[in-house]
Amino acid sequence: MSRYIARRLVAVIPVLIVVITVIFLMIHLIPGDPAAVMLGPNATADEVAKLRRAMGLDQPIYLQLLTFFARTLRGDLGNSYFLDRPVAQAVVERIEPTLLLTVYSLVVAVMIGVPAGIAAAARPNGLLDRAFMGSALLGVCVPNFWIALILIYFVAVQWHWLPAMGYAPLSSGVGKNLRYMILPALTLGFNQSALIARITRACMLDILQMDFIRTARAKGLPERAVIQWHAFRNALIPVVTVIGVTFAILIGGAIVTEVVFNIPGLGRLLISGILRRDYPVVQGAVLFITATYVAINLLVDLTYALIDPRVKHG
Amino acid sequence: MADGSTQARATWAAPASAAVAGEDRAAEARHIGARRVFRSRGVWMGSAILAGVLAMAVGAPWLTGYDPMRVDVANRLLAPSAAHFFGTDEFGRDVYSLTLYGSRISLVVGASVMLLTSIAGVVMGLLAGYFRSLENLLMRIADGLMAFPAIVLAIAFMASLGPRVSNIIIALTIVYMPRTARITYGAVLVARELSYVEAARAAGARDVRVAFLHILPNCLAPLVVQGTFIFAYAVLAEATLSFLGVGAPPYIPSWGNVINAGGKLITEAPWIALFPAMAITVTGLGLNLLGDALHDALDPRLRGLERPR
């Protein structure tokens, strides 16, 4: 087991090298002089030169890359010229809303996806199966910003049940925080529940064809008990993995949802960074989101190996 | 060599019983696959929807009398009516025309990304799978690019390249290319061990010829399926980037842009965002139906599990 963990950890190193290099190259893909682009057309040549020096753009590129690696590994993501503080600090301030949104959405996705997948698999090609899988297909195709707008229109504007936009931090009370987060969580969770439902159904169908299920049925167990105690428990392993992967995907999906609902999280930080041409912030936010994504995927893999001993020998 | 995972991948290229079979057996498998594709209801439904969207894009000038860019402030925010089927937006532009012309951007982006990822991904996958010296480098780059959440990487590239339609195509191609490369690479790993490839090599065929003429045809099925899904992702991703304000420039009538503008007026004029959103959903539905159906028809592993009609 420890060998598997070590191998999996070592495999992350080249991934991180590519990730950091790509994020470093972002600045150099900007057409023209990045410093001039950042400062806008009204900046003087002196100001541009000063920023170039401050960002290290006057150094040879390999030196810039090495400095970027060294800084990133120390947790130093540079400084934001517009927010006037270290990017790392700006990122840390924005973690709470994004993390909460991701967790709430995951709860929504699992609560919809798993029961829908099981019900669909219980009678393949039955009415429920067709209805759920039809909705799941639709869930994959509907843009989540559109779901957000529909929810805002009906639940917030027409019926006045919940606030349309904004955010209340956890420190102002869980109830208040939840009031602001229900619509965003439903938006993001609905899309992802489609994936969970499809995978749960597929796993259940696989398991339901196995001999031990036939035995369970043959010894006279009610169908409900077969599904609940024999099939679902065995289908749980791949489903748990998908839930983990979903958690990682949700972090990316949170960006769009945050922008629609005006939630001050990492996604809003990233998009406002782009619109202000605040590239250190963009790099910092992308790096943080991606590092979290990599870390969650790693944890999922390790958990999978823990639950299913076949993996580590594979 | 033939461990469980290799066996599983081998079934993509040829039926399991013929894992070590000759090239004509593989060709026969492709023939059977093609027959199943034409018999699949999902393929026809998905293709019909796509044909409809394509007709919208090509026939836009004949299907509407309004120029999508024409500003008509006197007629702003009109509800859907006989004169304006889908209403008008805040500048008095006809939402029906915007929706029709918006399909052009979506289809151009979707099709270009599908084509470019297929070409670049196949070359990358073939090189990595066939030339062992390149294997490590290319696949580690692919892994690194796939470590980013797709939309985050696309946003990052758009931040650097700037909001232009051509840049969306470049950004999304970089994002999705490693996925195609990985599928090709997997298929090549299996195919390069098969006896007909060995025979071709023994007959003196050059590496490039073996890779493109003997190995590639057997990787086509999964690539076609993947290409369809990449088309669907790209349509949705373009809309998302434009909606966020980092995709197509605001003056271009793309579905994401129209929804972005309509979203701000959702309480006064919900129709602005409604119709382009429906168009995205229908296009996505067509592509996903097609992709799912192609997957079922071309993946021999599912043959025994065909659904009763």
- Tell if the CB–CB gap between B155 and A253 is shorter than 8 Å: no
* Tens-digit pLDDT profile for residues A60-117: 989 999 999 999 999 888 888 788 889 999 999 999 999 999 999 999 999 999 999 9
How far apart, in whole angstroms, are the C-alpha atoms of residue B144 and residue A87? 23
- Give the mean model confidence (pLDDT) for residues B112-116: 97
- Residues of chain A with Cβ-Cβ distance to B145 below 8 Å are 18, 22
- Whether A179 and A163 have beta carbons less than 8 Å apart is answered as yes
pLDDT at B3: 40
Compute the mean pLDDT over every residue in chain B, rounded to the nearest whole number: 84
Residue B288 within a domain = yes
B219 in any annotated domain:
yes
Q: Which domain holds residue B157?
A: 2-66+92-302
- pLDDT band, very low/low/confident/very high, at B297 (cuts 50, 70, 90): confident
pLDDT (tens digit per residue) in B75-109? 888 889 888 888 888 888 999 999 999 999 999 99
CB atoms A157 and B148 under 8 Å: no
Query: What residue of A is the nearest CA neighbor of B150?
Result: A252
Contact B280 A141 (CB under 8 A): yes
Kindly report whether the global pTM for this prediction surpasses the value 0.90.
Answer: no
What is the rounded distance in angstroms from the CA atom of residue A21 to the CA atom of residue A66? Answer: 10
Nearest-neighbour CA in chain B from A298: distance (Å): 11
| pLDDT of residue B286 exceeding 50 | yes
Residue whose tokens read 């790096």: A287
Number of structural domains found in chain B: 1
- Closest-approach residue (CA) in chain A for B263: A149
Q: State how far residue B9 is from chain A, nearest Cα, in angstroms.
A: 15
Instruction: Tell me whether residues B159 and A273 touch, CB distance under 8 A.
Output: yes
- Partners of A138 on chain B (C-beta within 8 Å) are 281, 285
Rounded Cα distance between B155 and B98, Å, is: 24
Q: Do B236 and A253 touch (CB under 8 A)?
A: no
User: B247 to chain A: which residues are within 8 Å by CB?
Assistant: none
> Does some domain include residue B73?
no
Q: Which residues of B touch A300 (CB under 8 A)?
A: none
Q: Which residues contact A251 (CB under 8 A, 6 or more apart)?
A: A98, A102, A289, A292, A293, A296, B149
Any domain includes B124: yes
Q: What does residue A103 show for φ and ψ, rounded to 5 degrees?
A: -65, -45
> For residue B30, what pLDDT is reported?
67
- Count of pairs with CB atoms under 8 A, one residue in A, one in B: 145
Residue B80: inside a domain = no
With beta carbons less than 8 A apart as the criterion, state whether B89 and B75 touch: no
B139 occurs within a structural domain: yes
Contact flag A22-B148 (C-beta cutoff 8 Å): yes
pLDDT in tens, B62-74: 988 788 888 888 8
Q: B308 and A125: CB-CB below 8 Å?
A: yes
Instruction: Give the burial string for B223-247 (b: 16+ CB within 10 Å, else e).
Output: bbbbbbbbbbbbbbbbbbbbbbbbb
The 8 Å CB, 24+ separation contacts for A216-222 are: none
Is B84 inside any structural domain? no
By three-state DSSP, how is residue B88 classified? strand
Q: Which residues of B180-208 are buried (b: 16+ CB within 10 A; e: fewer)?
A: bbbbbbbbbbbbbebebbeebeeeeeeee
Task: Please count the other Cβ atoms lying within 10 Å of the Cβ belonging to residue A187.
Answer: 26
Nearest to B43 by CA among B267, B228, B233: B228
Across the interface, whether the CB atoms of A142 and B152 are under 8 A apart is answered no
Tokens of A92: 């840390």
Residue B79 placed within a domain: no
Lowest mean per-residue pLDDT among A38-42, B140-144, B271-275 = A38-42
User: Is B33's pLDDT higher than 60?
Assistant: yes
Quick one: average pLDDT of A192-214? 87
The answer to whether the Cβ–Cβ distance between A18 and B161 falls below 8 Å is no
CB contact under 8 A, B288 and A141: yes
The Cα of A149 is separated from the nearest Cα of chain B by a number of Å equal to: 6
Which domains, from first to last, does chain A contain?
Answer: 2-73 (no CATH), 93-307 (1.10.3720.10)
Compute the nearest-CA separation of A32 from chain B (Å): 10
Using DSSP's 3-state secondary structure scheme, residue A278 falls into: coil
Q: Tell me the pLDDT band of B26, cut-offs 50, 70 and 90.
A: low
Nearest residue on chain A to B151, alpha-carbon basis: A252
Residue B207 sits in a domain whose CATH number is 1.10.3720.10
- Residue A58 reports pLDDT greater than 80: yes
- Is A271 within 8 Å of B245 when comparing Cβ atoms? yes
Kindly report the nearest CA distance between residue A295 and chain B, in angstroms.
10
Chain A residues closer than 8 Å to B308 by CB: 125
The CA distances from residue B127 to B139, B142, B181, in Å, are 10, 13, 9
